[in-house]
């Protein structure tokens, strides 16, 4: 992401190679994310905000504080590092697949249990799970009314989860939505250039904090898991472990949707590719 060498950067704080390696180690231990050398300036930019907030003068002092067991600052540290790029109906083919194929399939398959469970892993500020809920309501509103339908949305970052739970978005975040969707699923915040996701959409989604390399309290099974543009940040072995745990929460025939640049090659043999980054669990 950044091509300039350390010696060429004009910085408010000294940020040595030793500091960066300490950050890389802590990020890996805490989140499983493997930071590349190209992320050095991004790390500096995000963490220097914490130094200013705490009125610290050195990265070494800050990192000592994080390593020393300050739980609140460790959460700030994780929040600062994790990436949160998202938008409504991003990679729209997945939502078309959900509406046109998966919902009719699940209505037939789950007709006895009348239960549907979908997991949005790495939900960021909520655009993905809310998009799932909108697609579900547009294609199968009768199921949302009469079945036990829930969307679990998880992320490691408490800041983005707070934003997601509020469900309020600026005009810039919703401007690419189809106008009919904006009118149908959002309420304008009086006197502001902001829009709130409607109650009918929000009531389908539950937001929870979850670190993918820590314990998972969910029991499953999940009919569909959206894990898009998430595992790309982990090294290969961590990817294998996370996908294996997802396998255990799904039954044969359930679906896993990944991001456009992600693949299960050399990661898992339990999923079969059935569409564009759409995988189906096999026996």
Active site residues: 46, 155
Long-range contacts of 38-46 (CB under 8 A, 24+ apart): 38/1, 38/2, 39/1, 39/2, 40/2, 40/6, 40/15, 41/1, 41/2, 41/4, 41/9, 42/1, 42/2, 43/81, 44/9, 44/11, 44/13, 44/15, 44/20, 46/80, 46/81
Rounded CA separation 255/272 (Å): 9
CA distance 242 to 97: 24
Length of the chain: 283
The CB density around residue 245, as the number of other CB atoms within 10 Å, is: 13
Query: 164, 129 in Cβ contact below 8 A?
Result: yes
Any residues with CB less than 8 A from the CB of 49 and at least 6 apart, and which?
80
Other beta carbons within 10 angstroms of residue 192's beta carbon come to: 11
- Pair 123, 153: CB distance under 8 Å: yes
């Amino acid at each position: 992401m950044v091509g300039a060498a350390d010696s060429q950067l004009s910085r408010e704080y000294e940020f040595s190679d030793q500091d960066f390696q300490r950050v890389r180690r802590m990020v890996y231990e805490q989140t499983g994310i493997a930071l590349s050398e190209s992320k050095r300036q991004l790390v500096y930019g995000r963490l220097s905000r914490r130094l200013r907030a705490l009125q610290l003068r050195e990265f070494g002092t800050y990192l000592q504080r994080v390593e020393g067991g300050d739980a609140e600052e460790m959460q700030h540290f994780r929040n600062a590092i994790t990436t949160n790029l998202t938008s409504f109906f991003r990679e729209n083919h997945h939502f078309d697949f959900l509406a046109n194929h998966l919902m009719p399939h699940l209505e037939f398959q789950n007709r006895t249990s009348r239960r549907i469970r979908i997991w949005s892993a790495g939900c960021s500020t909520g655009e993905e799970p809310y998009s799932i809920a909108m697609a579900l309501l547009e294609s199968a509103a009768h199921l949302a009314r009469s079945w036990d339908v829930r969307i679990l949305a998880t992320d490691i970052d408490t800041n983005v989860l707070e934003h997601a739970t509020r469900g309020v978005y600026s005009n810039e975040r919703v401007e690419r939505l189809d106008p009919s969707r904006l009118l149908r699923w959002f309420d304008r915040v009086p006197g502001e250039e902001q829009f709130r996701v409607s109650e009918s959409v929000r009531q389908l989604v539950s937001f929870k904090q979850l670190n993918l390399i820590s314990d998972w309290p969910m029991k499953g099974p999940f009919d569909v898991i959206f894990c898009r543009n998430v595992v790309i940040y982990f090294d290969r072995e961590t990817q294998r472990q996370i996908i294996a745990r997802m396998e255990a929460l799904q039954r044969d025939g359930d679906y896993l949707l990944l991001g456009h640049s992600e693949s299960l090659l050399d990661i898992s043999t339990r999923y079969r590719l059935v569409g564009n980054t759409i995988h189906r669990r096999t026996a």
